[in-house]
Amino acid sequence: MRPDSGAQDMRKAIALALITLFLFPLVGADTRAPDESREVRGGHAILLEQYTATWCDTCATTDPWVSEFAEDHSGRVYRVALHPNDHDPFGSPLTNQRLALKQADHQLSLPTFWFDGEGELQGQVSQSLLQNGLRAAEAERDDWIGMRMWWDTWENQPHDDVQQLAIHIEENLPENASITVFRLESLEMTSEIAYNGIDVHHDVATQMITFDREGVVLDSFEGDYGWTVANGNLYSEGGIPVFILETHGELDGFVTVIEENGEVRSVIGISNESMLRNPEIDSQFALIMLLGALVASVLLVREGRIQ
């Protein structure tokens, strides 16, 4: 006895749905898998902003162990080094923008530190002072907004490498929330001008972009490579924002910060040492799943014909 047309239509619909389900990720993916992929998840970390300079003698004794402090507390704190926009070769207008947010009513010393924009420390600080500042900032953080970040790199010889950053906010953002992304680099001092004896400066913020929860860009510093918005625009899926940005060249990592009315709500960082994903295995898995979907579809259709 042959099944009714409704049953046949149902099997065909299921077959089509299976094909579509597993084919869609391949259609939307880049034709070439990234050469490197990294992934992190979190948001509970603290933002450590340091105002420093290549001509600052006090910074010359402080900066090396501050970098080590950030590495030793990786996952709890992420450092962003801000250099003054003067004769410091690593300075940029993004420093002016970040300092203006601190609303400091006095002349800042070098170095100066902030934890989540608060807890200002100036001058020759000790590791114990930084540890106390970190703990105080963690105690002040009532909650945090979860984020996931993916960082894919494509080698692009003879041109600069392509760097793509995807940020998935795991819950609805408050109305007045903003998202800021810093690009961080280690820069080598090649000039004797404004030279305090440090050859390589780490965690230097060389690019920055700030946008609201709808993806509208509020502020941007392009640096040497600029930002490209992948897929045409920053976008939101079902009210949960997903943002994709591209830039080029070599870099050490990114730090993403969510702020609400100037208050830091969430911080996450991703670096060269972050967990590597294997894009080749991901692609092979997708092909296997697609093949399985096709086989299931054929079996469903054949079953309908036999009956």
Residue 249: helix, strand or coil by DSSP?
A: coil
Enumerate residue ranges in the chain where pLDDT < 50: 1-3, 15-30, 231-233, 281-283, 285-286, 289
Instruction: Tell me the CB-side half-sphere exposure of residue 235, using CA atoms within 13 A.
Output: 8
Residue 273: the pLDDT is 83
d(CA 300, CA 52): 66
Tokens for 46, please give them. Answer: 């603290």
Q: How many CB atoms lie within 10 A of CB 94?
A: 26
Tell me the C-alpha to C-alpha distance, in Å, between residue 300 and each of 8, 10, 68, 131, 307.
9, 10, 60, 62, 11
d(CA 91, CA 189): 13
DSSP 115-153: ETTEEEEESS--HHHHHHHHHHHHHH------EEEEEEE
> How far does Cα 171 stand from its chain's mean position?
17
d(CA 92, CA 210): 16
Residue 25: the pLDDT is 41
Tell me the C-alpha to C-alpha distance, in Å, between residue 33 and each of 215, 243, 282.
26, 20, 9
Question: Would you say 172 and 240 are in contact if contact means Cβ atoms under 8 Å apart?
Answer: yes
Residue 181: the pLDDT is 98
Q: What is the pTM of this model?
A: 0.80
Residue 123: the pLDDT is 94
> How far does Cα 180 stand from its chain's mean position?
9
Nearest to 46 by CA among 97, 147, 117: 117
Q: How many CB atoms lie within 10 A of CB 253?
A: 22
* pLDDT tens track for 197-210: 999 999 999 999 99
Tokens for 300, please give them. Answer: 């469903």
Residue 109: helix, strand or coil by DSSP?
A: coil
Tell me the C-alpha to C-alpha distance, in Å, between residue 273 and each of 14, 71, 183.
43, 11, 15
Residue 73: the pLDDT is 96
Length of the chain: 307
* pLDDT tens track for 108-149: 999 999 999 999 999 999 999 999 999 999 999 989 999 999
Residue 182: the pLDDT is 98
